[in-house]
Amino acid sequence: MSDQDNDKPIYVTRPVMPPLEEYVAYLEGIWERKFLTNCGVLHQELEAALSKYLGVNETALFSSCMAGLMAAFPVLDITKGEVITTPFTFVATANAIHWNNLTPVFVDIDPNTLNIDPSKIEAAITPKTKAILAVHCYGRPCDVEAIARIAKKHDLKVIYDAAHVFGVEDEGGGLARHGDLSVLSFHATKVFHTFEGGAMIAPDAVIKKRIDEFKNFGLSGETGLSAIGFNGKMAEVNAAMGLLQLHYIDEAINHRARVYRHYHEALTGVEGLALPDFSQIRRANYAYFPVIVEGVYHKSRDEIFDDLQANNIIARKYFYPSITDFAPFKAYGGECPISKKMAAQVICLPIYPDLSTPQLERIIRVMKP
């Protein structure tokens, strides 16, 4: 980076852009085949490659994670009732429940993991509860075993909003294998992207067929309709970007790890800043760098956010406010004081593979008292 770049904006994230000529080579194939969508060859190739990379049984591509989350309920035959979920997430999680005419029931989070607190789930279960929609927030695994135990005891389905977990592994393998269904995001701001996109992870080929039909209007063969579905398909240009990204993904995650370590070396010991600790995750993806700003820090979360902005560093308050504080969700009620508190203290610092050492130093100069 040259000195002239010193005041250029630093965003919270930047997408990985593989060499253009390699993408053009994929485009040439698409131009030749003239198959642009409806599960073409690149779509099929990417599903197979992702199942392998993520260590999961079946991958069904979607146009976005939100579309996948919306389809997850009808695919599991959940058409009415309550869904237990976390208030500490991006709105898409709760929106997907609402759009299915289901009722979100918000359960507070664990202040250490910022994921739904399993010890509070059972108190929220009623005869109307149908499912738990949990989020592996920032790519940090939920307590999947506790959630599975509760679900089994009360005969509930488990869906994971796995938007943040691309490439994350726990002791048993790919994190996205957990739950009845798991949905990843391949949005431009994610560790792995297809411009826009997502994928639903299914346990077997029978469920995968249901998903494939649902995302294609519910069509079954040429003349049948197995469900009243919608159009949630991924196009070939997006699948091409995914196939290309896969060549670079390990390198990208390694660069993210470098940024994570740099922040730790520079900011550990700064009073009042609680840094994310991904050291217990067998394979982390360093998707976000969420810092919790505590009272003893010399500035409030909002003050440090404004200072960063003044220095052209565009950090983000992911995830503020807590979903229960968004006007349209207030009607659903739910007291979640820990989520509210954490949402008021969190700031996500820039983290992406291309973030350079001089850029990191610029951020650290503002963060350090």
Instruction: Please check whether residue 84 is in contact with residue 121, taking contact to mean a CB–CB distance below 8 angstroms.
Output: yes
Q: Which of 179, 185, 195 is nearest to 165 (CA)?
A: 185
| Contact status: 92 vs ligand T4K (CB under 6 A) | yes
109 beta partners: 116
Choosing from 90, 263, 278, 286, the residue that interacts with ligand T4K (CB under 6 A) is 90
**Quick one: which H or E segment has residue 59?**
strand 58-62
Structure tokens at 95: 């929106």
Is 292 a residue that touches ligand T4K (CB under 6 A)? no
Structure tokens belonging to residue 29: 């194939």
List the interface residues with ligand T4K, window 251-290 (CB under 6 A).
none
> Which residue, 164 or 210, has its beta carbon nearer to ligand T4K?
164
Tokens 């500035």 sit on residue: 299
Does 318 engage in binding with ligand T4K (CB under 6 A)? yes
Binding string to ligand T4K for residues 196 to 235, with x set by CB under 6 A, is what?
Answer: --x-------------------------------------
Q: How far is the CB of 29 from ligand T4K (least distance, A)?
A: 24
Q: How far is the CB of 237 from ligand T4K (least distance, A)?
A: 15
Report the nearest approach of ligand T4K to the CB of residue 295 (Å).
26
Report the residue from 59, 85, 129, 185 that binds ligand T4K according to the rule CB under 6 A.
185
Please give the Cα distance from 87 to 104 (Å, whole number). Answer: 10
- Inter-residue contact 42 to 243 (CB < 8 Å): yes
Question: Is 188 near ligand T4K (CB under 6 A)?
Answer: yes
**CB neighbourhood size of 199 (10 A):** 31
Inter-axis angle of helices 357-367 and 236-267, nearest 10: 50
Residues 141 to 170: which contact ligand T4K by CB under 6 A? 161, 163-164
Of 64 and 297, CB closest to ligand T4K: 64
The count of residues interacting with ligand T4K (CB under 6 A) is 24
Structure tokens at 360: 């990191």
Q: Which of 12, 200, 240, 252 binds ligand T4K (CB under 6 A)?
A: 12
Among positions 64, 100, 285, 324, the unique one binding ligand T4K when judged by CB under 6 A: 64
114 conformational bin, left if phi > 0, alpha if psi -120 to 50, beta if neither = left
Q: Give 216's DSSP letter.
A: B
Per CB under 6 A, the list member of 10, 60, 66, 252 interacting with ligand T4K is 66
Contact 105, 83 (CB under 8 A): yes
- Per CB under 6 A, contacts with ligand T4K among 117-136 are 135
Q: Which residue has the tokens 């999961």?
A: 56
CA gap 208, 194 in Å, rounded: 21
Residue 66 or 71: the one with the smaller Cβ distance to ligand T4K is: 66
- The contact set with ligand T4K (CB under 6 A) reads 11-15, 64-66, 89-90, 92-93, 135, 161, 163-164, 185, 187-189, 198, 314, 316, 318
